[in-house]
Amino acid sequence: MSASNGLIVDAQQVSRVFSMPAGPVTAVRNVTLQIRGGDHVAVRGPSGCGKSTLLHMLGCVETQTSGTLFFDGQDVSRLSDSRRSLLRLRQIGFVFQRFFLLPMLTARENVELPMSEAGITKEARQQRVRELLEYVGLAARADHRPSQLSGGEMQRVAIARALANGPRLLLADEPTGELDEATGAQIAALLDRVNQTGTALVIVTHDLALADRAGRVLTMRDGRIASERTK
């Protein structure tokens, strides 16, 4: 798992406005942000400050209303939906607060899913799945369904799934939100290890301990980056 130290995301004055019945709501306001290979960024802020929206824009799930956002040199707003999907499949990994593992698949099959969608051969997939599950410490639980796993174990499988296609950028939205302190610490340690291999990491979190592990901590307020702290 390796990534270059080049610029991955270059967001310039990006904003996101949602049209609501009661009037437009600006979730993200003129944010400028660059993510390079190996970066470890935490985004904090009160509820409704636009953290998740920013994360979604970085992950090409949401497109900006104004400003420019380049991913690996490509203007994301000019890409078609299928090209954006391909970008997410090969270059970006997502870890969600609610894990979103498919309940009818085993841990092995959940991790394998993005690889089969990316067209990787069966042998290569099986090899990689073994490696990833060992990496997250769940090789022995490969054939268990999510309902048979604890919250921490499910999140580890979700991280393995997010790393399946060797993304350059891993985005995590409140990865420890549903976990207790001890389990959350385990997940934080795992994410550190991922970052140490060169994968850029952007985490949205309320968890102070998790945010403190990051090299850069961005604090958002009212859709803007109010402050940035670098270690």
Residue 170: how many CB atoms within 10 A of its CB?
Answer: 24
Q: Which is nearer to other proteins, 67 or 93 (CB)?
A: 93
Ordered DSSP codes for 116-162: HHTT--HHHHHHHHHHHHHHTT-GGGTT--GGGS-HHHHHHHHHHHH
Minimum separation from the CB atom of position 230 to other proteins (A): 28
Minimum separation from the CB atom of position 149 to other proteins (A): 13
Q: Which is nearer to other proteins, 92 or 203 (CB)?
A: 92
Minimum separation from the CB atom of position 111 to other proteins (A): 11
Encoded tokens for 152:
């921490």
Interface positions with other proteins (CB under 8 A):
52-53, 56, 59, 61-62, 81-82, 85-90, 92-94, 96-98, 100, 102-105, 109, 112-114, 116-118, 161-162, 165, 173-174
Encoded tokens for 200:
């850029």
Dihedral class, residue 31 (left if φ above 0, else alpha if ψ from -120 to 50, else beta): beta
Q: Which is nearer to other proteins, 61 or 139 (CB)?
A: 61
Minimum separation from the CB atom of position 213 to other proteins (A): 22
